[in-house]
Structure 1
Amino acid sequence: MTSRNRLLAVVAVLVCAVVAAAVYALSGTGKSTPSAARSSSARPSVTAKPSAPAGRATTWVPTNASIADVCRSKLPSQARDTLGLIDKGGPYPYRNDGIVFENRESRLPKQATGYYHEYTVVTPGSDDRGTRRVVTGSVGEEYWTGDHYSTFQEIDSRC
């Protein structure tokens, strides 16, 4: 093997290693916190995440008559905390916060994949993510579910 071929082989191996590391990091498999490291009453560690989707409005007025509204002020304090983190672009307490919500059951208005993103609402006393979430749409709409996507309410920030 010539020195040029060896150099090309080394570069190819390095590129493969970098790609594999990036895929591993983006999949989140290397970031989990062992459950034994947290007690059931401890808040999860906070990690930085990308900001909310570009162009997301900060004040959304509910427009979908088929989904019940809920006043932002009537949400649990932890949901209001999550909404504040979303407005700031993070950091979020769980590594899955900000991932695409796929709307598989079509309980929210039908949109293209990638339109909705989900965020965990901390549940005091829970040793996992619990069932409470805020789901946001790309143009600023916000939805609350306290029962892990079985029902949704559109969040009205005016009250």
Structure 2
Amino acid sequence: MTSRIRLIAVVAVLCCAVIAAAVYALLGTGRTASTRTSSHQTSPAAGSGGPKPSAPAKPSASGTWVPTNPAIADVCRSKLPGQAQDTLALIAKGGPYPYRTDGVVFENRESRLPRHAGGYYHEYTVVTPGSGDRGTRRIVTGTAGEQYWTADHYSTFQEIDSHC
């Protein structure tokens, strides 16, 4: 009789795991806007609605910039440090880059950026004056043209608005 109870318990646990996985899949990454705008975030998230489908950041019909994901805070390109603007210029030209690891695939393991297939994102070093190594600042780009800034080695991101 005890082996029958164990079997029922195992089946119940497996059913719960399947249900939890289904709910997780239906809700996407399991993160909400409030999770993304943790205490690490340097500015509030743009907009209060749910995330939009990921698409390249582009001007709207009115000519204003539209973020690809309003759950991620944005920053004006002109407000970035000069070194970040230099990195963006190098990216636009296709290099050459100061570090051999620039342009490698960014895996987005923590899913802080919108989810995409592997190889979608690439990372580039932003030179940090006085740092003896690559430092913590990076630009991450998406295949569709979106660009993200992180000053804290991928803990938080801001989408770069190139129109201001």
* Contact 2:68-2:146 within 8 A present in 1 as well: no
Which fold has the larger relative contact order, with Cα–Cα distance below 8 Å and residues 6 or more apart in sequence? Answer: 1
**What is residue 136 of structure 2 aligned with on the other side?**
131
**What is residue 156 of structure 2 aligned with on the other side?**
151
Please state how far the C-alpha of 1:142 moved relative to its aligned partner: 0.1
Give the whole-Å Cα distance in 2 for the aligned partners of 1:128 and 1:96: 12
**What is residue 81 of structure 2 aligned with on the other side?**
76
Aligned counterparts, 1:1-159, within 5 A = 61=65, 62-159=67-164
Aligned residue type for 2:128:
T
**CA, structure 1 residues 64+97, in 2 after alignment: closer, same or farther (shift >3 Å)?**
same
Q: Point out where structure 1 has 5 or more consecutive residues left out of the alignment.
A: 1-56
Q: Post-superposition, which runs of at least 4 consecutive aligned residues in structure 1 deviate over 6 A? A: 57-60
What is the aligned-residue identity percentage?
Answer: 78
Q: Which TM-score applies when normalising by structure 2? A: 0.60
String of CA shifts for 1:15-67, please: whole Å, max 9, x gaps: xxxxxxxxxxxxxxxxxxxxxxxxxxxxxxxxxxxxxxxxxx89674221000
String of CA shifts for 1:110-153, please: whole Å, max 9, x gaps: 00000000000000011100000000000100000000000000
Question: Residue 115 of structure 2: SS of its match in structure 1?
Answer: coil
Question: Residue 87 of structure 1: SS of its match in structure 2?
Answer: helix
